[in-house]
Amino acid sequence: MYIGEIAKRSGASPKAIRLYESLGLLVDIKRQGRYRIYDERDVKFVRLIKDAQTLGVSLSDLRSLMVERNELNWHAAIELLAEKLNRIDHDMKALARQKEKVEQYRSEIEKCLNPT
C-alpha cells in the first residue's frame, strides 16, 4: 500500500509517517520505483507509535527501544512505562497540593468578600 493508504488506516498523516521513517522508527520500507510500499506490519507499528505518543512517550524514547524492523525491546518498554507511571504519580501529588492551595485561597477571598 502507498503512503496515503497507510495514513488512512493508521490515523497518522503522511508527513508523520515520513518523519517516523527519517528517525529510523520505520525501517526497511520496500520501494516500487520512487514510491514507498507499506504492509500491514507497518500499519500496526504506526498505530503503536501514535498510541505511545498519547501516553507521553517521545519519538526518541521509542527509537531507543527499537531492536529490529518495527520491533521493540518489550522489557525496556515495560521499564520506560514504569518510569512514566512514577512521574505521573509524582505530578498527581503535586497537582493535589496545588489544588488544596487554590481552594484555600479561594475560600479566604470569599470570606473577605462576604464577612459574616
37-92 per-position pLDDT tens digit: 999 999 999 999 999 999 999 999 999 888 777 778 899 999 999 999 999 999 99
Residues in Cβ contact with 52 at an 8 Å cutoff, skipping those fewer than 6 apart: 62
Residue 60 identity (one-letter amino acid): S
Q: Which strand (E) or helix (H) includes residue 68?
A: strand 66-68
Residue 31 identity (one-letter amino acid): R
Angle between helices 3-10 and 14-22 (to 10 degrees): 100
pTM to 2 decimal places: 0.75
CB 40 within 8 A of CB 7: no
CATH code that applies to domain 3-113: 1.10.1660.10
Cell numbers at 85, concatenated:
507511571
